[in-house]
Structure 1
Amino acid sequence: MNICLYGSGSRKIDKNYTDAAYELGCQIAERGHTLVFGGGDTGMMGACAKGVHDNNGSSIGIAPKWINDFEPLCERCSEFIYVDTMDERKNNFLKYSDAFIISPGGIGTLDEFFEIITLKKLKRHDKPIIVFNIDNFYDKMLEMIDEMAEKGFLYKQEEIFHIANSIDEIFDYLR
């Protein structure tokens, strides 16, 4: 299975988050899956990719060449797909992935998360989406989504994504 990871590339992330991302990468590799990600070598993306590569796993990095002006790109990817735009990058994430994991991140991660759940709601795909809620990182966002549903801003409340607080929960859901 090709598993796409959305997550921050920031170098300022607390170690407990990047440790969890590294362990996720180890598990992706040990279970024979391939990591699909934004190609970054730092933050959540870089830590997960390092876990994959340290365990002889496969990865597909997808990024525009110019992103290297903002963050270093991972040089250990099994395959790297260069694109021109962020939209093209997100389209390739959808094309090459069988499931999506949203790890802690910033604005870019939220953009990717909301786009992938919107596309699922609009029946453009039916792939699993998992919010990896490390140390309750996404609790406030999830409360906001619940409130949106309670107030009628979301159509029929159905499970579009799954919330996992541990790596075991992620892989139990993907089975």
Structure 2
Amino acid sequence: MNICVYCGSSLGKNEKIKEQAISLGELMCKRGHHLVYGGASRGIMGVLADSVMQNGGEVVGVIPKNLFKKEVAHKGITELITVDGMHQRKSIMADRADAFLALPGGFGTLEELFEIITWNQIGIISKPVVVYNLNGYFDSLIQMIDHAVDVGFIKPGNRKILRVAETLEDCMKFCEQEL
């Protein structure tokens, strides 16, 4: 299984996120899964890619030309795909992935997460989407989504597209389940 992981190109301020990215890479490899991600060598993205590679897994990175130097493209992975822009990046990542997992991250992580939820909602794909709610990172986002359900902007059935994991083991379990 190929799991697309959305995460930050920075490390953030909480060391536990870095530790969990390392553990996630180890767990993915133990379960025979491969990583599809944004192609950077730094931040949580780089930490996760390094962990997967160090544990014998395969890593496919997809990075736009304009971010190649800014995010410092990871040249030590199984396959690095350079594309013209973000839309192409996201399309290739979606094609290559069997499931999607969001770790704590910034605007890019959230944008990719919402786009892949929407693709599931409108039927472009039908693949699991999971957020790792490490230390309650996504609590406010989940609350906002649930509020949108309560006021009628998100259908209750569509709310089920997004699964919330509190542990790395749950992340893997939810990624491995059919929708």
Residues in 2 aligned to 1:74 and 1:29: alpha-carbon distance in whole angstroms = 19
Q: TM-score, normalised by structure 2?
A: 0.93
Q: CA deviation at 1:32?
A: 1.4
**Which whole-Å CA distance do the structure 2 matches of 1:113 and 1:12 have between them?**
18
Match of 2:93 in 1: 93
8 A contact 1:7–1:44 mirrored in 2: yes
Contact kept? 2:3, 2:99, Cα under 8 Å: yes
- Structure-2 separation of matches of 1:49 and 1:21: 9
54-63 vs 68-77, greater mean Cα deviation: 68-77
Partners of 1:165 and 1:11 in 2: CA distance: 20
Partner residue of 2:2?
2
Deviation at 1:66, TM superposition (A): 2.0
Which whole-Å CA distance do the structure 2 matches of 1:12 and 1:69 have between them? 20
Moved more, 153-162 or 122-131: 153-162
Identity of aligned residues (%): 35
Quick check: 1:149–1:157 contact (8 Å CA) kept in 2? no
The alpha carbon displacement at 1:85 in A equals 0.3
Within the alignment, does 1:172 sit opposite 2:173 as a pair?
yes
- Aligned partner of 2:23 in structure 1 is 23
> Which segment is superposed worse, 8-17 or 106-115?
8-17
Q: Is the CA contact 1:104–1:134 (under 8 Å) kept in the aligned structure 2?
A: yes
Shift of 1:73: 1.6
DSSP-derived class of the 1:53 partner: helix
- Root mean square deviation, CA, Å: 1.3
TM norm structure 1: 0.95
Runs of 4+ in 1 over 3 A off after TM superposition: none
2:139 is aligned to: 139
TM superposition shift of 1:8: 0.6
CA contact (8 A) 1:10 1:42 kept: yes
Q: Report deviation, 1:75.
A: 1.7
Unaligned runs of 5+ in 1: none
Contact 1:133 1:139 in 2 (8 A): yes
CA distance, structure 2, for counterparts of residue 6 and residue 133 of structure 1: 13
Alignment deviations for residues 80-111 of structure 1 (CA, whole Å, 9 cap, x no partner): 11100001000011110000001111000111
SS at match of 1:142: helix
- Indicate the SS of the match to 2:104: coil
Q: Is the 8 A contact 1:52 1:59 kept in 2?
A: yes
Q: Equivalent residue for 2:161? A: 160
